[in-house]
Structure 1
């Protein structure tokens, strides 16, 4: 996942194969040192494959005045 706000991107790599089987949900959150998230323009979350190809793009819109939001969740289902 990559979070962008017009400035430098923040990247988080997740290898679900290394997550223990008992963990089914991973919540991806963030926080601000000052101000609130509604002041950040152009914020989006990208989900990319291993080779950088964008699989999904989620613009973060209608943001409340918060300093520590949850941006997304990853789910692991056992087959």
Structure 2
């Protein structure tokens, strides 16, 4: 795992943990809580496409922050 991949995983996880809303990352074969750094690392390294579902009291702010961090690391994600 290169430094940029590690940094992306840590920053995505930290951004998700700032919010009360749930953050579920869906791939073709997995659904996982983005607040789980282990699951996140395994998924980001093994799948090219992602769908992020965010639901909760602060979902608007969470969606904006999560879109920014994925974009920062050039990861394409659809956010619902």
- TM-score, normalised to structure 2, is 0.29
- TM-score, normalised to structure 1, is 0.30
Q: Identify the structure with the greater strand proportion.
A: 1
Q: Identify the structure with the greater helix proportion.
A: 2
Q: Bigger radius of gyration, 1 or 2?
A: 1
Higher RCO, 1 or 2 (CA under 8 Å, sep at least 6)?
Answer: 1
